[in-house]
Homo-oligomer: A and B are copies of this chain.
Amino acid sequence: MKIVILGTGEVCRVLAPALLSLGHEVVVGTRDPRKTMTGNPHYRLLAARHPELRLASFTNAVESADRSGLVVNAISGPACLDALVPLAAGLTGHVVMDVSSPYDWSRPDAVLDPVNTDSLGEAIQRALPGSFVVKTLNTLAAQVMPDPEVVAPDHTIFVSGDDEEAKLRVGDLLSAMGWRDVLDLGGSRTARATEMMLRMWIDASAALGTHLLGFKIVR
């Protein structure tokens, strides 16, 4: 299917090759394509390795999207709402796979915002009222997202969203990536649960000395 990835950071650089290798057509959206090609050496390397990858402005990337495909929100958490709001009309009818965290990694002592009484996933769904937002993959380091085996064969990936069909489409993609334990937590409100696990991810990563970990819901 056709997959549009919004954002050119680490998540894009990991997901794009994985999605290409699964046979999908991938378009990457960025604020300013020229700036990305000149000022982002990591992205330039990715583009050189994968000439089939298309780069476009956010608006053009969304225009090229297919309603039977997926749009991935891989814009960094604190910035993504400002970037997504102007795209709301173009994203109407689309499934948006949201992998963001409400956390500013550039601040040394950041806390989650929003949290507890709201989530970034819910805020994105409110900002994109015509889209079907599915929160997933936000409990992991980028490099583990498209390949659970980077950590271990069996850990849990969570999906949250209000539209059942959208969750099934995302679940199929997760299965194709190798995720065996896909746990549908429920509506978009349950994004609070996965976003709040970031605190454990950060502390457990520090305690264990590795970001390569996953959460298994043992039952």
Contact of A206 among B117, B152, B186 (CB under 8 A): B186
User: Does A87 touch B at the CB level, under 8 Å?
Assistant: no
Q: Is the CB of A219 within 8 A of B215?
A: no
Contact of A196 among B152, B197, B212 (CB under 8 A): B197
Known: A111-B117, A199-B196. A208 touches B219 (CB 8 A): yes
Q: Is the CB of B192 within 8 A of A199?
A: yes
Q: Is the CB of B197 within 8 A of A185?
A: no
Contact partners of A146 in chain B: CB under 8 A: none
Q: Is the CB of A218 within 8 A of B117?
A: no
A160 to chain B, nearest CB (A): 8
Contacting B at CB under 8 A, from A190-219, are: 190, 192-194, 196-197, 199-200, 202-204, 206-208, 210, 212-219
User: Does A184 touch B at the CB level, under 8 Å?
Assistant: yes
Contacting B at CB under 8 A, from A92-131, are: 111-112, 115-117
Q: Is the CB of A207 within 8 A of B219?
A: no
Closest B residue to A117 by beta carbon equals B111
* Closest 4 pairs (CB-CB, A-B): A216-B216, A193-B200, A196-B196, A193-B199
